[in-house]
Structure 1
Amino acid sequence: MASRIADKAQEVAKEDIDKAKVLLNDAARSGSYLYPIKGIIYFFGHPELWKPLRSRIVPYLTLYSGVLGSMFFFTYLPQLAIMAFVNGPLALFTTAFLILSESSTITGIVSKNYLLQDAILDTFDGTLMARNQHEMVAEGREVRSRGDSIQRLGKALKRPLERFGFKELVRYVMYLPLNFIPVVGTVIFVLLRGRARGESVHDRYFQLKRWPAARKSKWLQEHKGAYTGFGTVATLLEMVPLASVLFSFTNTVGAALWAADIEAKENEMAKSTAPGLRETAKKAE
């Protein structure tokens, strides 16, 4: 009986490892993990995109500093005592990493629901405007005829950025015990959070494209590796103390650049297939 259970556990573990390998391979081939880095470069090269961040920087830093300081002061030693049992000397670092993750999550919940929601929306749409995706942006908001990519953004007609959901909290609490596994557990924890993070980065893009839920779900499933790659890098960047707010905006820029590239590729494919379709139609006549 015990041997059968052990064999079954090994079989399940092998299946999970194989799935993880496929996922990581898809992520690597897609190049999606580079878009958070591209977002940083593009953001600093386009000062007009700084405006939404500048309008929120002070309240965000005040919130983040308060959360991070409180978490280290009240929870570092209790969590260290627990982590020391399983991580040994590494507990000093894994506990700090865990608190950074917890602080980032708490700050993200509050800020994205109350402080940053409109600013992040403007940043995503502004980046699409800078990439000449005016018609797409016009599907979700008024677009002015003059000004830079941010100044041309008018009243938002659709708001895709949902408030923090209960499912996300449940997921986070479920994954938290993984940090008790030395090194490997923390890596898995970040990957799982990255996968969840990646699933939401193109909510605005899907809305502007007017995709129904079924099509969105199918697209995410087909490109699971790509979105996990983007989400993992984005998650790691947003865990950097104090700089997390900056990376929240640069990650948004990166997501918009990725959306613009997807759109450009689809348009190019449509143009290349259109002559062939017309020729087929003529022959049919």
Structure 2
Amino acid sequence: MSFGGSCILTGIGALAYKFDRNQQFERLPESDVLLNKMNTDVYRKKLQQLKIRIPRSLINYFKDFFDGTSHLYPIKGVIEVTANVKLYSVPMLTIFTSYSIMYSLVSIAYWATITPMYTAGLLFLGPPGLAIAIIHTFLHTNALTLMFMRMSHLQSALVKRTVTFKNYQSVSKTKPIKFYVPILTNYFWFYYLPKKILKYTSGLFVFLGLMGVCSIPVIGPFLYTLAISPFISRIYVSNIYRLRGMTNKQRYDNFLDHLGKYTVFGIYAGVLELLPVISGLALTTNSVGATLWGMDDEE
């Protein structure tokens, strides 16, 4: 449960969100390309887009990282929730209760299976080794719990409440579009499927590497949080972007073009979530902060 269970629940949460019914599915326009046009209309086009995107993303990264204001929004989320406790109390209690249950389940499994291995491996340090094993247990179980809690998107109702309270006018009246690629197309078999296989295979190795980093006693969870900071932001802000009517492609393009903003927000949000229990509250404040960010970040 401590590791495998967290991964399974995280995957289920991601799939549930990805195929949420509160969006309309439309066929990707370019997916009807003919086989003899794949080279010119797909491969060369994608390569040209990549040549443009990489330098643009690098330039924007440093600009957004050092000159942006996204780092302020996790703090704004804390201020907003503190100033309006009655408004946010019910969703905050729901999220915190869910976090507490999940943290307890993960902790029980972790203490029974993994903590003894850390304790045995650090015995040569004496009492300090035992202290390190215990501290790491609390931090590591918290990181595993947050994997699921972020991807569960239990914060969706909280985002809508924030939008209503702030009288935000840019909420789309139609469901956001999610483009899909039909399986019986040349585009699917000769581009989309190979791309997805490469993406998820490399992603699996990266994920296992990150889990290895997170397993380093005490400092591992800190390094892990820094490494995934852009993706923390992407998860949090996706709800408000959906409410704004942004398609899945637009959200992905925004993520790549402004990776610096996502990194900074994720670092600050991740720091608030590092400590157990406090992170159960930070899930609410970070969600509100990301909503405020998404409301202000209209381009």
TM-score, normalisation: structure 1: 0.61
* Other structure's SS at 1:44 match: helix
Which amino acid in structure 2 is aligned with residue 257 of structure 1? L
Structure 2 segments unaligned to the other structure (5+ residues): 1-56, 179-199
Which amino acid in structure 2 is aligned with residue 245 of structure 1? G
Establish whether residue 129 from structure 1 lines up as the match of residue 167 from structure 2. no
* Other structure's SS at 1:239 match: coil
| 1:101-134: CA deviation from partner (whole Å, max 9, x where unpaired) | 5323432355456xx64x4101112112222214
* Other structure's SS at 1:199 match: helix
- 1:207 aligns with one of 225, 236, 242: 242
% identical equivalent positions: 23
Moved more, 244-253 or 131-140: 131-140
Moved more, 75-84 or 231-240: 75-84
The aligned residue for residue 255 of structure 1 is: 290
Q: Answer yes or no: is the 8 Å Cα contact 1:71–1:99 preserved in 2.
A: yes
The aligned residue for residue 43 of structure 1 is: 81
Higher relative CO (Cα under 8 Å, sequence separation at least 6) belongs to 2
TM-score, normalisation: structure 2: 0.58
Establish whether residue 108 from structure 1 lines up as the match of residue 146 from structure 2. yes
Which amino acid in structure 1 is aligned with residue 277 of structure 2? L
- Aligned-residue CA RMSD (Å): 4.0
Between the two proteins, the alignment pairs up a number of residues equal to: 220
The aligned residue for residue 30 of structure 1 is: 68
* Other structure's SS at 2:235 match: coil
| 1:163-203: CA deviation from partner (whole Å, max 9, x where unpaired) | xxx88876442213335779886654321121221222221
Q: In structure 2, how many angstroms separate the alpha carbons of the residues matched to 1:138 and 1:23?
A: 32
What does residue range 64-143 of structure 1 map to in structure 2 within 5 Å?
A: 64-82=103-121, 95=133, 98-111=136-149, 117=153, 119-136=154-171, 138-139=173-174
The aligned residue for residue 151 of structure 1 is: none
- Relative to structure 1, the CA distance from residue 32 to residue 245 in structure 2 (aligned partners, 3 Å threshold; closer, same or farther) is same
Deviation at 1:220, TM superposition (A): 1.1
Establish whether residue 216 from structure 1 lines up as the match of residue 251 from structure 2. yes
| 1:25-50: CA deviation from partner (whole Å, max 9, x where unpaired) | 74242131221111011011112122
* Other structure's SS at 1:235 match: helix
Q: Which has the larger radius of gyration?
A: 1
- Relative to structure 1, the CA distance from residue 28 to residue 69 in structure 2 (aligned partners, 3 Å threshold; closer, same or farther) is farther
Deviation at 1:221, TM superposition (A): 1.4
Q: Answer yes or no: is the 8 Å Cα contact 1:100–1:239 preserved in 2.
A: no
Q: Answer yes or no: is the 8 Å Cα contact 2:171–2:245 preserved in 1.
A: no
